[in-house]
A and B are shown apart, each in its own frame.
Chain A
Amino acid sequence: MPEEKTATSGSPVGATQEKPKFNVNEELDRFQKRLIRGMEVLTSPLLDVEVATTPSELVYQEDKMRIFRYIPVQKKLQTPPVLISYALVNRQYMLDLQPDRSVIRYLLNQGIDVYIIDWGYPTPIDRYITLEDYIEGYLNNAVEEVLRRSGASKLNLVGICQGGTFSVMYSALHPEKIKNLVTIVTPVDFDTDTGLLNIWSRNLYVDKVVDTMGNVPGDFMNVGFLLMNPFRLVLDKYIGFMLNIDDQNFVNNFVRMEKWIFDSPDQAGECWKQFIRDCYQKNLLIQNKLKVGDKTVNLQNITMPVLNIFAEYDHLVPPACSRNFTEHIGSTDKEIASFPTGHIGIFVSARSQKEICPRLSEWLIKRSE
């Protein structure tokens, strides 16, 4: 998913609070010096743009889907294993983008055993993979493998964005395998006019898109995301970068974020078609009418404890898509947590480490006894 409004845009970090008169010559001089310093920053040995640096091991692979287990840092594990299901759009290392703001590291430090699904990069051979293949095939096999390895009878499933929607479907179909369900910025009710993706998707000829393209290219998706806010995402963001190019830390994090934003796998055609048609266009999931293969997803089957986290300024998954999800499930232990941030801010903002990660880990540990 693309970046939303972030603190990266706008005025330079540490800009003076004085009100000097605008002198063009001085400003040009300052600007040139900043660019020269910027070149030093970009060529410096301190330039660190590595992502996903938390140690992990590959524990399972099926076709292009892989499961990684992060190496625990605490001897005593506090919870049954946590399996994280990220979206097919973009990559799961958003949760481990920069070491000092890594959701994964935070959870490990709390003694949580973390597994994560890497859906991989679909190629043309994958164009016929369906929604059923993802839910009943890959996700189910991932759950089984984690249970087998850990010896647990149930696991904690954490779903993020579209991966959250998959987790909701899976939990409704296989509640017996899920101890707790956490949904983060997860769309479940797609019928809203508050999100551009929701509005634009209604008019898509999904059959024609897939018929023509096979898999839906990641760049095609990116164009749609950038179009949602072109002035911020195509212009302002890079002006912000230029104004802060002499700040090593800013540059490191900016480049990491750029790496993630445009690391966009293609979407397996058949699955994408069904997801857009049944969720965005017909809104079947919230109505308990969605079919996965020959099974109907009934949200009332979700009876395990549920924590639903959403971002108040999320322009990709507006709060209206997430907020009311828990009203439709069968659980009695259900909690909603909203935070004043955006879709990505949930994972990389300062608030993430201070408020969101603690809330998540505490909730999980509390329900793991």
Chain B
Amino acid sequence: MPKKNTANNSKKAEDTAPPFATPCRHGMGGTPRDSANAANPWFEMWSKYMESFPSNPDSGQNWFKMCDEMTRKFCTPPLTDGMDDLYQKVADASDIYIKMFKSWADISGNVKPSRLGGMKNMFDLLMNSQKDVFSRLFGLPTPDFAGGNIGEWTETARKSLENFSQFYFQNCQPFIDNWSNISTEMGEMLKGKADPEKYKNFYATWVKGYESAVGKFLKIPSVGPSRQILDKINKSLDAFIKYCGAISDFNMVLYAPGKETIEEFAKKSAAIAQDGQFTQEKYKQFYDLLINTFEERFYQMFKTPAFGEILKTTLEASLNFRKQHFAVVEELLKSTPIITRSEIDDVYRELYDLKKRIKELEKLINNRTNLPELTLRTLTGSQGENPERAAGQAGKK
């Protein structure tokens, strides 16, 4: 904080130095300087700062320090009567601004928010710097962070921030960290030859990240008036992600033997073409080999329990997504004059039960009255129809 200048010092400067090279109000003890003398140290500091700029992560702080020192040393204007107070206010404001900037620079320079400790440090720095800023800006007594109301508030805020950070690192960070792994896996996947293992790893990493972060949130029960639709949308989204996963796994299962079969086919087909004679018969051999090799290899795989299992998983994921998706659509249709499948299913159920009941009663009547001409058709919708002569119609729609 600059000290308030005295009238004497100001007067000396006014007498002996040009306006732009007035002695600094701070630090130089009021000694007059000519412009060259004044500029040299300025350039010196500027050079020092610029040297550090390209690579030094503390460049921001260096910049601040330079500005602060230069202001203190070289930028005190010649004061005239009536200007003193105004200048003082501007100088104070500038000083506060610079202090605030320093707080920010300290924070940005020290905080590494990749860890909980980093977040805590950031908060501490923020509090300490703000303490200084507030006291200077508003002339308030320095707050005691160890006690009193502000202390309690800041402690609460600090804990709250810690808690939030903990939540963040437990729930969001795994997903973010995972994206880093995904980037690596994707890089691997795109490198060199196609490799199903790389694809599998990439996808497994993705799913792991999803399950550990976003997937958990989609399962949180909804509340409030929109609870039902939100629940259904979340379930549908979750089911879709799992469906994509299952399809991906299924494709992987098909991909691996496909690749092996191509290799096997390549070896065998080379033998066919070995003598360099290309006849139609050889082409037929080549084609038959292709089909037979694939057929045999895939048949062997299809009958394994493992394939049965993946088929089941894929189908289940597909059905689950379909069901959840339909639930969302039905929910949205509720507000329209369109009947939904669930509603019509209820009608079908009723009709089925009624028809069954009619048929039972019909049989009962037939048995009691012994009327052979009273057939089922007369009671179940085909009344009055004569058996139609339908030459050539058997089996057609």
Contact = CB atoms under 8 A, between A and B. Distances in A.
Interface in A202-241: 202-205, 208-209, 211-214, 227-232, 235-236, 239
A196 B302 contact: yes
A3 B118 CA distance: 68
Contacts of A228: 302
Contacts of B392: 52-56
Nearest to B321: A212
Contact of B390 (A27, A57, A213, A236): A57
B28 interface: no
A21 B303 contact: no
Interface string B300-328: 00110100110110011001101100100
Main secondary structure of the interface of B (DSSP, over half): helix
A133 B380 CA distance: 15
Contact of A125 (B281, B283, B295, B351): B351
Nearest to B349: A128
B278 A52 contact: no
Contacts of B115: none
B348 interface: yes
Interface stretch (B49-57, B161-169, B381-389): B381-389
A199 B349 contact: no
Interface string A1-31: 0000000001100011001111000010000
A214 B394 contact: no
Nearest to A30: B280
A200 B311 contact: yes
B372 interface: yes
Contact of B294 (A125, A209, A227, A231): A231
B372 A148 contact: yes
The CB with the most chain A CB atoms within 10 A, among B351, B355, B380, is that of B355
Interface residues of B, number: 58
Contacts of A263: 397
A324 B326 CA distance: 45
Main secondary structure of the interface of A (DSSP, over half): mixed
B279 interface: yes
Interface string B260-300: 00000000000000000111111110011001001100110
Contacts of B294: 231
Contacts, number: 149
A62 B393 CA distance: 17
B228 to A, nearest CB: 19
A62 to B, nearest CB: 5
A190 B157 CA distance: 69
A22 B395 contact: no
Given A22-B280, A59-B387, A231-B298, A129 B394 contact: no
A301 interface: no
Interface in B338-373: 341, 344-345, 348-349, 351-352, 355-356, 359, 372
Given A61-B377, A141-B376, A208-B316, A21 B277 contact: yes
Contacts of A125: 348, 351-352
A63 B283 contact: no
Contacts of A57: 387-391
Interface stretch (A32-40, A116-124, A159-167): A116-124
A199 B303 contact: yes
Nearest to B344: A124
A68 interface: yes
Contacts of A213: 319, 322
A71 B387 CA distance: 14
Contacts of A116: 394-395
Contacts of B334: none
A209 B356 CA distance: 24
A205 B315 contact: yes
Contact of A61 (B277, B312, B385): B385
B303 A92 contact: no
Contacts of A56: 390-394
A145 B392 CA distance: 21
Given A19-B281, A203-B311, A196 B303 contact: yes
A19 B283 CA distance: 11
A136 to B, nearest CB: 10
Given A55-B391, A127-B348, 4 more contacts: A51-B395, A125-B348, A128-B348, A196-B299
8 contacts: A52-B392, A52-B393, A56-B392, A116-B395, A118-B395, A125-B352, A205-B312, A230-B298
Interface of B: 277-284, 287-288, 291, 294-295, 298-299, 302-303, 305, 308-309, 311-312, 315-316, 319-320, 322-323, 326, 341, 344-345, 348-349, 351-352, 355-356, 359, 372, 375-377, 380-382, 385, 387-397
Task: Pick the 3 closest A-B CB pairs, nearest first.
Answer: A93-B395, A203-B312, A68-B394
